[in-house]
């Protein structure tokens, strides 16, 4: 099985980090292909970044879909919190597409009654809220931020551990959080030390999304073409 992890931003070190981390929990026979756009935004922090990121995601998926069949991914994962460009991606891809945010929320809901997303720039809380609302999980999730720029995690995120521990403890005390969702694609380094420090599950969305994508492919399931994500000229007949 071949799964493309599409990073909506142009920072290939972030792609490398998530591919490496996700590899450890992927199926043995899964090939993970990291995809980094050549042009676009270096990080997705603002809503303008999201416009560029969505275009990058779409461009990369269309490129892969129009290439040779044997290199075409069986499924895609969007590796940016907020699931940048997910609706268009679902339409463009022949196989299923899973966003890291929706995957992280679903995974957390299997492990904890209430849980908290800790995102980085405070201004991206709205993007988290958008996914929470789409799924309807507002009664179980709170959103918090450590308010550092995404650029901080280009070369790893371990130096942010203390900030995340502090914010997570506040979530556990004030919001009764029983699990933590890492709200950015570059935070894989934090999973282990944060889990050790907090004693509750810490969820990295790209790894979670790979699992879901693999499962969809294994079950022979893909995006419904009935209406919302029907392919141009290819409705249900």
Give how far Cα 117 sits from Cα of 18, 29, 43, 102, 145, Å: 18, 31, 19, 12, 8
Site string for a second copy, 104-143 (x = CB under 8 A): --xx-xxxxxxx------xx-xx--xx--xxxxxxxx---
Q: Which of residues 6-65 bind a second copy (CB under 8 A)?
A: 25-29, 46-48, 50-52, 54-55, 58
Of 49, 51, 56, 106, nearest to 76 by C-alpha is: 56
User: Shortest gap between Cβ of 132 and a second copy (angstroms)?
Assistant: 9
Q: Residues 6 or more apart from 128 whose CB is under 8 A from it?
A: 81, 82, 101, 117, 119, 143, 183
Smaller CB distance to a second copy: residue 163 or 229?
A: 229
Q: Which of residues 62-101 bind a second copy (CB under 8 A)?
A: 85, 87-88, 90-92, 96, 98
Of 1, 64, 6, nearest to 206 by C-alpha is: 6
User: Shortest gap between Cβ of 67 and a second copy (angstroms)?
Assistant: 18
Neighbours of 129 (CB within 10 A): 15
Smaller CB distance to a second copy: residue 69 or 227?
A: 227
- Cα 182 from Cα 42, distance rounded (Å): 20
Site string for a second copy, 137-176 (x = CB under 8 A): xxxx-------------------------------x---x
User: Shortest gap between Cβ of 172 and a second copy (angstroms)?
Assistant: 7
Torsions phi, psi of 218, nearest 5? Answer: -60, -35
Tokens of 23: 């590899």
User: Shortest gap between Cβ of 89 and a second copy (angstroms)?
Assistant: 8
Contact between 197 and a second copy (CB under 8 A)? Answer: no
User: Shortest gap between Cβ of 159 and a second copy (angstroms)?
Assistant: 23
Smaller CB distance to a second copy: residue 160 or 202?
A: 202
Q: Which of residues 177-196 bind a second copy (CB under 8 A)?
A: 177-179
- Cα 15 from Cα 154, distance rounded (Å): 10
Q: DSSP readout, 156-179? A: -SGGGHHHHHHHHHHHHHHS--SS
């Amino acid at each position: 099985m071949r799964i493309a992890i599409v990073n909506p931003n142009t920072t290939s070190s972030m792609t490398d980090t998530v591919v490496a981390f996700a590899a450890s929990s992927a199926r043995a026979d899964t090939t993970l292909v990291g995809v980094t756009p050549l042009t676009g935004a270096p990080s997705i922090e603002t809503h303008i970044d999201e416009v560029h990121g969505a275009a990058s995601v779409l461009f990369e998926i269309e490129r892969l879909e129009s290439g040779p069949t044997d290199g075409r991914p069986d499924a895609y994962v969007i590796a940016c919190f907020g699931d940048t460009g997910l609706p268009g991606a679902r339409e463009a891809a022949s196989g299923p597409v899973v966003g890291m945010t929706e995957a992280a929320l679903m995974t957390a809901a299997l492990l904890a009654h209430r849980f908290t997303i800790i995102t980085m720039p405070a201004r991206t809380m709205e993007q988290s809220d958008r996914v929470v609302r789409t799924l309807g999980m507002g009664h179980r999730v709170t959103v918090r931020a450590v308010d550092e720029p995404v650029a901080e995690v280009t070369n790893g995120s371990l130096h942010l551990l203390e900030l995340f521990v502090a914010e997570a403890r506040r979530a556990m005390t004030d919001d009764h959080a029983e699990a933590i969702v890492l709200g950015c694609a570059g935070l894989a380094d934090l999973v282990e030390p944060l889990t050790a420090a907090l004693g509750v599950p810490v969820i990295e969305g790209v790894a979670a999304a790979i699992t879901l994508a693999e499962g969809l492919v294994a079950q022979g399931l893909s995006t419904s073409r009935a209406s919302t994500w029907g392919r141009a000229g290819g409705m249900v007949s």
